[in-house]
């Protein structure tokens, strides 16, 4: 089982890397006022195997033996330089957060982008892309991507989703001074932490930010899957309060003759082909509502979806997936936005708090489903992972594939 778990982790990391190399787009807020400081607070609930594959997916959460974890990602971007000395910023949270008096937002050092000394390894196998809920795959599926052709720079048109751009908010790339948490302070949000109450962010490169939250972490998803006689996989879940929509994806694999990774199979619940983009990100209710209209996201009333039989047939050795419940969003600004759109508005700062809940599920054989009740054992890591070189998993297999 641990071998399948590690292969699943590697596969997800590979897929995430493909997106990062070729599919990421940063959403621009055309016409919006430019505040001095922007603050983003992404609030997540994670359940399933390994609490969402542990730190390998860069999900910084804490907790001991609970299978339901919480995650917080904090980012502060400012157009100012630090007043004195190096950049300093702290987020003071309510006591129920159980994170001490405050957490320090760390200013990262930009990477040089060097490839390292590891040799380039030609990728092997193929990527098969399926989509849509139903017992059988629709017409025109699968779309087949040959990794060897990708390595030669032959990227098929329309491979990456462009209608769902990633909006990561403040970043080191779009800020004069930037800070983020989790950091190297050894603190992690716990499974029984709460974010209800007053929040204050104080920095020497941004105006003071204050807001109060009345929305806590979203409930955990309770999804179950099982194989059907025709080879399809039934996925069902209990609807949760506050969900604005749902999205699921699954990845299956066919192992190579030497036990290495062969074909990778990708499926999404969207009615149209989707790969990459921001569907696995935090999404605003307005964006989710638009995507429901496009049938890229399932509505909050839907609680079942069938993975086509061809997905498992193409990847018979292992299948894992994730289910996302998008949640509400809270927006704050100072001074507050005027009710009359004709009134000029020049905010000192804005803050956006986004919510989501996600669950990981895994099928290794008929009837062998691992879900929210799976033991975590030693696979979970409650600490930040070392930064991977580009010559590692992604760089070794896809380095230089996409410009």
Q: What is the number of other CB atoms lying within 10 angstroms of the CB of residue 198?
A: 11
- Strands 349-363, 37-48: pairing kind: parallel
In the block, which residue shows the tokens 């489903």?
369
Angle at 197 between CA 181 and CA 355, to 5 degrees: 55
Spatial neighbors of 395 by CB under 8 A, at least 6 apart, are: 115, 116, 118, 120, 389
340 contact partners, CB below 8 Å, separation of at least 6: none
Angle at 296 between CA 313 and CA 329, to 5 degrees: 125
277 pLDDT band, cuts 50/70/90, is confident
pLDDT range class, residue 161, cuts 50, 70, 90: low
Q: Give the global pTM.
A: 0.80
Q: What is the pLDDT of residue 34?
A: 86
Instruction: Count CB atoms within 10 A of the CB of residue 230.
Output: 10
The CA distance from 251 to 325, in Å, is: 18
pLDDT-wise least confident of 23-27, 118-122, 261-265? 23-27
Does residue 92 or residue 127 have the better pLDDT?
A: 92
Q: Per residue in 20-55, is it b (16+ CB within 10 Å) or e — as a string? A: ebbbebeeeeeeeeebbbbbbbbbbbbbbbbbbbbb
Q: So where are the chain's domains? A: 2-82+123-170+215-339+347-379+388-398
Position 123 scores a pLDDT of 57
For the beta carbon of residue 381, count every other beta carbon within 10 angstroms.
13
Cis amide linkage into residue 17, ω under 30° from 0: no
Backbone angles phi, psi at 176, to 5 degrees: -70, -40
Which runs of E-coded beta strand occur in 50-114? 68-78, 89-92, 103-104
| CA-based radius of gyration for the chain | 21
Could you report the per-residue pLDDT of 309-319, keeping only the tens digit for each?
Answer: 999 999 988 88
**How large a percentage of the chain has pLDDT more than 70?**
68
- pLDDT average, residue stretch 66-85: 92
pLDDT at 339 over 80: yes
Which residue is it, tokens 């769902």? Answer: 164
Q: What is the pLDDT of residue 274?
A: 83
Residue 83's CB is within 10 A of a number of other CB atoms, namely 10
Q: Could you give the CA distance from residue 19 to residue 252 in angstroms, rounded to a whole number?
A: 17
Average pLDDT over residues 335-345: 91
Residue 257 pLDDT grade (very low, low, confident, very high; cuts 50, 70, 90)? confident
Across the range 57-69, mean pLDDT stands at 49
């Amino acid at each position: 089982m641990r071998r399948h778990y590690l292969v699943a982790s590697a596969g997800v990391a590979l897929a995430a890397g493909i997106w990062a190399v070729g599919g990421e787009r940063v959403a621009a807020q055309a016409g919006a006022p430019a505040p001095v400081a922007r603050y983003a607070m992404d609030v997540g609930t994670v359940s399933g195997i390994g609490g969402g594959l542990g730190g390998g997916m860069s999900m910084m959460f804490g907790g001991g033996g609970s299978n339901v974890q919480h995650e917080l990602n904090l980012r502060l971007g400012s157009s100012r330089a630090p007043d004195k000395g190096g950049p300093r910023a702290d987020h003071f949270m309510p006591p129920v957060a159980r994170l001490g008096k405050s957490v320090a937002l760390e200013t990262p050092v930009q990477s040089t982008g060097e490839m390292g000394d590891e040799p380039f390894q030609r990728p092997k196998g193929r990527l098969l892309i399926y989509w849509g809920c139903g017992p059988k795959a629709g017409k025109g599926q699968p779309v087949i991507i040959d990794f060897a052709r990708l390595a030669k720079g032959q990227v098929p048109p329309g491979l990456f989703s462009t209608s769902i751009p990633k909006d990561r908010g403040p970043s080191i790339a779009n800020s004069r001074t930037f800070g983020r948490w989790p950091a190297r302070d050894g603190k992690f949000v716990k499974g029984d932490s709460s974010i209800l109450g007053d929040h204050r962010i104080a920095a020497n490169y941004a105006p003071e930010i204050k807001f109060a939250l009345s929305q806590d972490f979203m409930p955990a998803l309770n999804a179950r899957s099982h194989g059907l006689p025709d080879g399809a996989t039934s996925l069902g879940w209990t609807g949760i309060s506050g969900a604005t929509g749902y999205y699921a994806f699954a990845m299956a694999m066919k192992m190579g003759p030497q036990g290495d990774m062969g074909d990778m199979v990708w499926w999404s619940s969207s009615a149209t082909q989707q790969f990459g983009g921001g569907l696995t990100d935090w999404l605003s209710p307005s964006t989710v509502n638009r995507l429901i209209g496009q049938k890229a996201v399932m509505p909050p009333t839907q609680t079942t979806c069938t993975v086509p039989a061809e997905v498992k047939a193409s990847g018979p050795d292992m299948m894992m997936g994730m289910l996302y419940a998008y949640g509400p969003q809270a927006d704050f600004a100072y001074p507050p936005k005027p009710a009359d759109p004709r009134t000029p508005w020049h905010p000192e700062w804005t803050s956006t708090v986004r919510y989501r809940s996600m669950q990981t599920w895994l099928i290794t054989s008929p009837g062998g489903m691992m879900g929210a009740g799976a033991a975590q054992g030693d696979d979970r890591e409650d600490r930040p992972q070392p930064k991977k070189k580009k010559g590692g998993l992604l760089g070794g297999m896809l380095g230089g594939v996409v410009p």
